[in-house]
Chains A and B, each alone.
Chain A
Amino acid sequence: MTRNVNGEIREWLEAEAAGRADEADVRFRSVSRELTRPLVPAGFADAVIARIGAARAAADAYSKRWVRIAVAASVVLVGGVGALVPWHVWMGALLASVQAVAVGVGQVIVGGRAWVSGGFALWNGLAEAAAVVGRLLLGPVPIGVLALNLAVAVCAFGALRRLMAEQEN
């Protein structure tokens, strides 16, 4: 039996273009019969069950008695070795750690202060330069030049507008 695929597509697209969503849905369903459905590989379910078994085994590992005994023995061993170390050695190590942290924090503070003061110095320099330029611009000659520039710009803008209006007309 033959199918008029082009006809089916045309009907679908016409329904789509006309906004007949329900009809387009039905028409496209007919067209999409051509799409293949994948086959499930043999042994898929077995593979899933095997993976679940492996995951379970891993989760159950700690629940085994000998694993618990081994973990407890390790904790006792580490604790015992730690107890053999004299207390002043522990305290020395602790103080050294605190000292290292304090030195690090101090260096960060010193670096931060230098950065802030550097920023202020730069800002002061820029402010002085701006003040010098401002004083220069306040003289009669620069003011005159600026006023002249402004007048020329206004005239040019007006001329441009007139020119564009003429072109539009």
Chain B
Amino acid sequence: MTPTDARLVEQALAGSQDAFRALVDRHSRPVLNLVARMVRDDGVAEELAQDAFVKAFGALRTFDPAYKFSNWILRIAHNVAIDHLRKSRLPVVSIDDDSSGRDMADVLADTREPSAFDRAVQGDFREDLEAALAQLRPEFRRLVVMRYLEDLSYEDIAEVAGLPLGTVKSHLHRARAALGRLLADSGWGPGPPGHEA
């Protein structure tokens, strides 16, 4: 039977290195995913993810088993990434910066865009979606990653990001709207129906 996170934490506190290694193995992918999406540099992300686990180990005694370990470690990783971004001040595009001045209705009504069919066949949609996500501000991108890549609930995201539930929902709405505009600008969505990828 697979031990729970809380049990592994207990064992790690008792001095079991294997228990902490199991926690790292179990949570490294979501931690790395979140940090990598926030800092957009795989090398830096790996180092920051390691930092997060080292910090978690140092603070293991403060972990409250009443909460999810996954949320706790993601929160530490999230704070490590935020600290890094504050220090490096990476350039980002505002989520509200719609240089085309188009709103959602314009995007839906616009049928002048060329077909995306050919590019879709070549698998360009993934690239465009990745590019659109990369253009979001880190504070919005992190929410998209937690919600749609890591399947966290709104409540868990609020706990990890330290935001009120309503703010999480409204920020996700704005992030999706911005992604929609960016994808439409790349030729996706409003073209003639029936295009398959």
A132 at interface, CB cutoff 8 A: no
User: CB-defined interface of B38-55 with A at 8 Å, one 1/0 digit per residue?
Assistant: 000010011001100110
Q: Is the C-beta of B149 less than 8 angstroms from some C-beta in chain A? A: yes
Q: Does B140 sit within 8 A of A, measured CB to CB?
A: no
Tally A residues with Cβ within 8 Å of B: 36
- Give the chain A neighbours of B21 by CB distance below 8 A: 45, 48-49
Q: Does A143 contact B (CB under 8 A)?
A: no
A40 touching B32 in the complex, CB below 8 Å, given contacts A32-B148, A35-B149, A52-B54 = yes
Q: Would A16 and B42 count as touching, CB distance under 8 A? A: no
A55 touches B189 (CB 8 A): no
Q: Could you tell me if B46 and A48 are in contact, using CB atoms closer than 8 angstroms? A: no
Contact residue range for chain B? Answer: 35 or more
B188 & A9 in contact (Cβ 8 Å cutoff): yes
A45 to chain B: closest residue by CB: B24
Looking at the assembled complex, report how far the CB atom of B109 sits from the nearest CB atom of chain A, in whole angstroms.
Answer: 10
Contact partner of A44 (CB less than 8 A), chosen from B50, B120, B184, is: B50
Choose from A6, A16, A37 the contact partner of B188 (Cβ within 8 Å).
Answer: A6
A104 proximal to B (CB < 8 A): no
Contact with A along B181-197 (1 / 0, CB 8 A): 00110001111011111
Cβ–Cβ contact A37 & B105, under 8 A: no
Contact of B196 among A2, A12, A28, A39 (CB under 8 A): A2
Of A6, A38, A51, A55, the contact of B36 (CB 8 Å cutoff): A38
Cα–Cα, bound, A6→B25 (Å): 37
Chain A residues whose CB sits within 8 angstroms of the CB of B28 once the complex forms? 40, 44-45
A31 at the interface (CB under 8 A from B): yes
Binding site for B on A (CB under 8 A): 2-7, 9-10, 12-14, 16-17, 21, 24-25, 28-29, 31-32, 34-41, 44-45, 47-49, 51-52, 55
Q: List the one stretch of B62-70, B74-82, B171-179 in contact with chain A.
A: B171-179
Known A-B contacts: A9-B183, A40-B29. Give 4 more (CB < 8 A): A2-B197, A5-B197, A10-B108, A17-B104
Chain A hits for B104, CB < 8 A: 13, 16-17
What's the Cα separation between A29 and B176 when bound, in Å? 10
B196 cross-chain contacts in A, Cβ below 8 A: 2-5
**How many A-B Cβ pairs are below 8 Å?**
121
Classify the interface of chain A: helix, strand, loop or mixed.
helix
CA–CA, A35 and B146, complex, Å: 13
* Binding stretch for chain A, among B3-11, B86-94, B125-133, B156-164: B125-133
Are B120 and A5 in contact (CB-based, < 8 A)?
yes
Contact with A34, one of B24, B50, B126, B147 (Cβ below 8 angstroms): B126
Let me know if B197 and A16 touch, CB within 8 A.
no
With known contacts A16-B180, A28-B176, A37–B50 Cβ distance under 8 A:
no
Complex Cα gap A35–B195 (Å):
20
Q: Whose C-beta in chain B lies nearest to the C-beta of A40?
A: B28
